[in-house]
Amino acid sequence: MAEFEPKIIGFLCNWCSYAGADLAGVSRYQYPPDIRIIRVMCSARVDPMIVLTLFKEGADGILIGGCHIGDCHYISGNYHTEKRVYVVKKLMEKAGLEVERFRLEWISASEGEKFAKTVTEFTEKIMELGPSKVGEDPELTNRMGAAVDASLDFRIRSLLGHEVGMIENGNVYGETKTEEEMRNIIDIAIEDEFRRSLILGVTSSKPASAKELSQIANLPTERIVEHIATLRQKNLLAIDHVDGMTPYYVALRVGGD
């Protein structure tokens, strides 16, 4: 087998990290050549869906670089980035992909050396982890698919979008939440939506029973049944057929796709 050449993608914000990467160049700091950089205006532009999709499609490592907290060119973008990174990591964890493959680093325009160092360390880490098993391992691939779907879920995205505001200003009823309370709510949403996405993913190709789903999702049957009930309420899942006493479920396609 040829030597492992990791596929690493770096999303860098235009104002700080991309400038830091340029400074590394101007200063001729050498670092391993495996990273490929994609420029974005703000690190907050990087939708969790994009990161998870690229992992699902075989990326060995993804780095997001943003301005230090407080330095954001767009006032508070990086604050949002931090929140989104949390969700990405949680979903990676649920899917069983090493979270070390994903890294967020604040790199300023004057930290050329830090950029070089970060890339060097990160590349070494990825070398140590070896090639991503996504693609090779069908179960992991399925789970990553569910992670991508969960990242597109309304509830998670909405919570994420309101997290900062809920902590600082409260909801429409004026109730504020502590950071910890918000984290708990988001954690629960991630758990639920990931499992549901997984159920939908599995049942979209082949009808499955609650018991089968419980094995795939690695979850007690009673929790699976709850998810099935929710999905059926939302008209996303239906009974395909009943084998003996066991119902088999199938995902319903919504919309036009």
Per CB under 8 A, residues contacting another protein are 7, 9, 11, 14-16, 18-19, 21-31, 33, 36-42, 44-50, 53-54, 57-59, 67-68, 70-71, 73-77, 80, 84, 108-114, 116, 152, 154-155, 157-158, 160-162, 164-165
- In angstroms, what CA-CA distances link 162 with 166, 172, 176, 205, 221? 6, 11, 11, 34, 32
Helices and strands (DSSP H and E) totals, the chain? 9, 7
- The distance of closest approach from Cβ of residue 254 to another protein in the complex, given in angstroms and rounded to an integer, is 13
Q: Which is nearer to another protein, 38 or 99 (CB)?
A: 38
* Gap between the Cα atoms of 161 and 83, Å rounded: 9
Q: Which two tokens stand for residue 58?
A: 């075989």
Minimum CB distance to another protein smaller for 36 or for 241: 36
Shortest approach of another protein to residue 75 CB, angstroms? 4
CB of 152 to another protein, least distance (A): 7
Nearer to another protein, 37 or 236 (CB): 37
Min dist. Cβ of residue 60 to another protein (A): 9
DSSP letter, residue 179: H
Q: In this structure, how many other beta carbons lie within 10 angstroms of the beta carbon of residue 96?
A: 15
Q: Which residue has the tokens 């009808």?
A: 207
Based on CB atoms, which residue is closest to another protein, 50 or 198?
50
Please give the distance of CA 86 from its chain centroid, rounded to a whole number: 8
